[in-house]
């Protein structure tokens, strides 16, 4: 599944798409970190850049949508407004049960985006809903978050290495 996730992100970049990332709390921080790594860590002058956006990075949009439409739709609304079929949504939820994350994945699939879902514990609905599930079967939030960060770093490394001719 990791190779499939990497291929989805790579194809998205090569076709001028955007990688959207979404998570709550610690998972949101992981998403913000990955935006930096995707943009900077995969840069190569001979390849299209990876365009990446965390759906929590613009507090004004996030809070306006949450206020007007509810917290559960704060991310799905953004995906419905911005997403295009050649884009990818990476959804991160330690429990796999966060309703606002599930709704974002459903909205992404309705718009034709590829979806990658990182979950822990039993995987929840995220494991079942995402096109490419990356599930860490551990019942500890800290360990799950660390594993998610490692999986996402691996995707960045795989793309960066390939672009540098080290694949």
DSSP assignment string, 65-95: HHHHH-GGGHHHHHHHHH--TT-EEEEEESS
Say which residue the tokens 């360990």 belong to: 143
What pLDDT digit, counting tens, does each position of 3-61 carry? 999 999 999 999 999 999 999 999 999 999 999 999 998 888 888 889 999 999 999 99
Residue 166 lies in a domain: no
> Looking at the DSSP assignment, which residues form a beta bridge with residue 54?
21
At 167 the pLDDT is 61
Number of compact structural domains in the chain: 1
Distance in angstroms (rounded) separating the CA atoms of residues 80 and 74: 10
User: Residue 27 belongs to a domain with what CATH number?
Assistant: 3.40.50.10490
Residue 96 lies in a domain: yes
From the list 141, 92, 140, the residue with the least C-alpha distance to 119 is: 92
pTM of the predicted protein model:
0.96
Structure confidence at residue 112 as a pLDDT band (50, 70, 90)? very high
Structure confidence at residue 76 as a pLDDT band (50, 70, 90)? very high
What pLDDT digit, counting tens, does each position of 113-134 carry? 999 999 999 999 999 999 999 9
Domain that holds residue 130: 2-159
């Amino acid at each position: 599944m990791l190779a499939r996730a990497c291929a989805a992100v790579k194809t998205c970049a090569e076709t001028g798409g955007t990688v959207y990332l979404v998570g709550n709390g610690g998972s949101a921080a992981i998403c913000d970190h990955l935006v930096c790594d995707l943009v900077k860590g995969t840069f190569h002058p001979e390849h299209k850049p990876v365009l990446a956006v965390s759906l929590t990075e613009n507090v004004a949009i996030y809070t306006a949508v949450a206020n007007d439409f509810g917290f559960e739709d704060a991310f799905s609304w953004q995906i419905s407004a911005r997403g295009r079929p050649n884009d990818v949504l990476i959804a991160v939820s330690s429990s796999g049960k966060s309703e606002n994350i599930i709704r974002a994945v459903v909205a992404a699939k309705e718009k034709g985006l590829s979806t990658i879902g990182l979950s822990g514990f039993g995987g929840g609905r995220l494991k079942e809903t995402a096109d490419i599930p990356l599930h860490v079967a551990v019942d500890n939030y800290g360990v799950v978050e660390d594993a998610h960060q490692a999986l996402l770093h691996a995707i960045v490394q795989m793309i960066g290495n390939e672009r540098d001719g080290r694949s």
